[in-house]
A and B are shown apart, each in its own frame.
Chain A
Amino acid sequence: MMLIAFVLQTVRIAIPYLLAAAGGVMSERVGVIALGLEGMMLGGAFGAVLGSYYTGSAWVGLVCAMGAGVLVATVLAVCTLRFRADQVVVGIALNLLVMGTTQFFLRLAFDSASNSPRVNGFGGEGSSLGMLSSFSNPLVWIGLAALPAIGWVLWQTPFGLRIRSVGEKPAAAATLGVPVRALQWRGVLLCGVLASLGGAYLALDQHQFTDGMTAGRGFIALAAIIFGRWMPLRIAAACLLFAAAETLQIQLQGAQLVPSQFVELIPYVLTIVALAGVVGKSAPPAALGKVE
């Protein structure tokens, strides 16, 4: 029973990571650094709460979340793809921008500086499923399926081959008639959609928006992408590993074996170690960060 509870909580914590990392790997595979994940998630969370609050339907919230994610991704794409602005600078600026924008409109929409009122999520408390109630949430299934699906698309379909070629050698891809810029746009927009679903999951799970509620999860997803060496199934494993560490820390809270701050550091330290090449060579897409 302990084990089942552990697995279920790990999955719950992992869903936002899995969704954001799935988006991030699409963006990075077309050569655009996924530094804006945090902002896309936060935008998605805000959109979900707005939609659910004004209509009472979590499904509408989901649509609004995706709209917000696409909006953030469009700004990213216009700046980096159309105007070839520096991807690192744009990514960081977008995170600041979304953070400010959500807080700014929080007061306008809900007359509060810190959080929204309670909104409807998927499967209310009345659900008889108890511990299993999270499995009535469509986002859980989308989250679990996203990375395997992307792995299949990237390595088993002609479309995936083109996507990878754009991230590795865009000039060669263009020579073969691959529409490089169009595929980059698609990668970035898909990133926005998936990352915003990660944010929507957080907000609908907690039934409200609180300011800065993504709390660095976009960067943990980025860490998972790097630790998983840009391979979808490895990334999924990394997300679950990071989530399991958090679950362990929550469940052992009373025991105080390790300070909680140290457990929080696991994804970041592992990523630095992975980048230093201690656990095998990590190979990012060759054209990552270089849009021509």
Chain B
Amino acid sequence: MTAHASRSVLTRTVEALLAPVLAVAIAVVVGDLLILTYGESPGTVYRLLLEGTWGNVYGFGQVLYKTMTLICTGLAFAYAARAGLFNVGAEGQLAAGGFAAALVGLWLPGATPAVLAVLLCTASAMGAGAVTGAVPGVLRARFGASEVIVTIMLNFVVLALLNYTVASHMAVPETLHTEVMRVGFVARLGAVVPAFTGSAANFTIIAALIAAIVAWWALFRTRSGYELRAVGLQPDAAEYGGVNVPRTWVRAMMWSGAFAGLGGINYVLGYKHYYEEGFAAGSGFLGIAVALVGRNHPLGIILAAFLFATLSQGGLAVNALVPKQLVDILEGVVILAVATTVPEVQRLLRQSAARLVQRASTESPT
């Protein structure tokens, strides 16, 4: 029994690490080839990438700033994925969250206590994300509409509506952003650790870490999280076991949207203090990569968000030698490699485990 348990822990660890490691290795090889097409040395480019991200405090602050949003969008994708749903709508939910936070910050009277204002802005960001996420959830639960397609289409709808509202009613002339909020400011890390001064890193990252803990607790330590995962693994069996599947889907999509919406406060409360068109474009889709590499587990997502934030920031550092889109390609390769190797690794491990069991049963007759 203990031997079996320890083997399964080992198998699970190998399974969790093998695919990402393999994926990063493939990405590095592809990256080398791409860098060589520009006649640059891969070593120089990678060193520049690391120096621009982990090598100085400003760069590291920028990485932390990007990590915050990616934790949120990664959690958003993972939470729905645990219920067996694809939330490809984090892009729109994130924008809706940022917009709602800015709206509340603009609307609250200037005398609102700072803590209350931040809490209200954060709650409205999550609320706006939850409402945006609920739409595909309800359409799936009620009509069986594919949430993949609905979330993709809804991204275009939400972004166009927000852009229209801001551009034609709220924007400061000659810009694509609203006025600066009256209240709801979150301090930057530079205010406490002077070395970070100048970077966008701010204390909203604590909200993202809390969200990761809450997501872990909700998924693995509560009854509704157990039901959610049961629905994700086998909806028919869960339904037979007494779980209300449609309601679980809607709830999962609402929480998923809320996590994505939370990501909006990073830019709005912590950095610029206004909503701007396209303030985190691409972060929603990158959340899929984060969740995939993090294996839909909150801890894995924090690590993967840090990895992808490093890549994004690193692109800017190497842009003088090779186009910064190098990192977009690497990100795409990592997603493809993880998506293809995970099922393959699982199959191979299952085969070898079956062989081990078979050998054990033939060697020790009962």
Contact = CB atoms under 8 A, between A and B. Distances in A.
Interface of A: 33, 35, 75, 78-79, 83-86, 88-90, 92-94, 96-97, 99-101, 103-108, 113, 216, 219, 222-223, 226, 259, 261-262, 264-265, 268-269, 271-272, 275-277, 284
Could you say which of A93, A99, A216, A269 has the most chain B C-beta atoms within 10 Å of its C-beta? Answer: A93
12 contacts: A94-B332, A100-B328, A106-B323, A108-B37, A216-B156, A219-B152, A262-B164, A268-B156, A275-B143, A275-B149, A277-B144, A277-B145
The 9 closest A-B pairs by CB, nearest first: A100-B328, A97-B332, A275-B145, A93-B335, A268-B153, A83-B340, A85-B339, A261-B164, A103-B325
B164 A100 contact: no
Given A97-B336, A100-B329, A108-B38, 12 more contacts: A33-B148, A79-B340, A85-B336, A89-B288, A92-B288, A92-B335, A93-B332, A96-B331, A104-B323, A219-B156, A223-B153, A275-B150
Nearest to B322: A104
Contact of B154 (A216, A226, A272): A272
B287 to A, nearest CB: 11
Interface string B118-155: 00000000000000000000010011111011101110
B164 A259 contact: yes
A93 B143 contact: no
A90 B335 CA distance: 8
Given A85-B343, A103-B328, A265-B160, A275 B288 contact: no
A265 B336 contact: no
Most buried by A among B146, B153, B331, B343: B153
Interface string B97-116: 00000000000000000000
What range describes how many residues of B lie at the interface? 35 or more
Contact of B336 (A93, A105, A216, A264): A93
B279 interface: no
B163 to A, nearest CB: 6
A268 B145 contact: no
Contact of A261 (B150, B163, B322): B163
Contacts of B149: 222, 226, 271, 275
Nearest to A33: B148
A261 B160 contact: yes
Given A216-B156, A219-B156, A269-B157, A89 B339 contact: yes
A88 B157 contact: no
A85 B322 CA distance: 31
Contacts of A262: 160, 164
B323 A277 contact: no
Contacts of B160: 261-262, 264-265
Contacts of A96: 285, 328, 331-332, 335
A272 B151 CA distance: 9
A92 B88 contact: yes
A169 B64 CA distance: 48
Residue in A79, A90, A272 with the greatest tally of chain B CB atoms within 10 Å: A272
B162 to A, nearest CB: 10
A88 B153 contact: no
B143 A276 contact: yes
B156 A107 contact: no
Contacts of B328: 96-97, 99-100, 103-104
B239 interface: no
B336 A88 contact: no
A75 B335 CA distance: 13
A88 B163 contact: no
Interface in B254-307: 285, 288-289, 292
A78 B336 CA distance: 10
Nearest to B330: A100
Contacts of A75: 336
B49 interface: no
Contact of B161 (A86, A99, A216, A261): A261
Contacts of A86: 339
B6 to A, nearest CB: 30
Contacts of A219: 152-153, 156
A261 B165 CA distance: 10
A276 B145 contact: yes
B181 interface: no
A105 B322 CA distance: 10
B148 to A, nearest CB: 5
Contacts of B341: 83
B81 to A, nearest CB: 10
B217 to A, nearest CB: 27
Given A268-B154, A275-B145, A277-B145, A100 B325 contact: yes
B86 interface: yes
- Greatest chain A CB density within 10 A among B289, B292, B326, B340 is at B340
B325 A94 contact: no
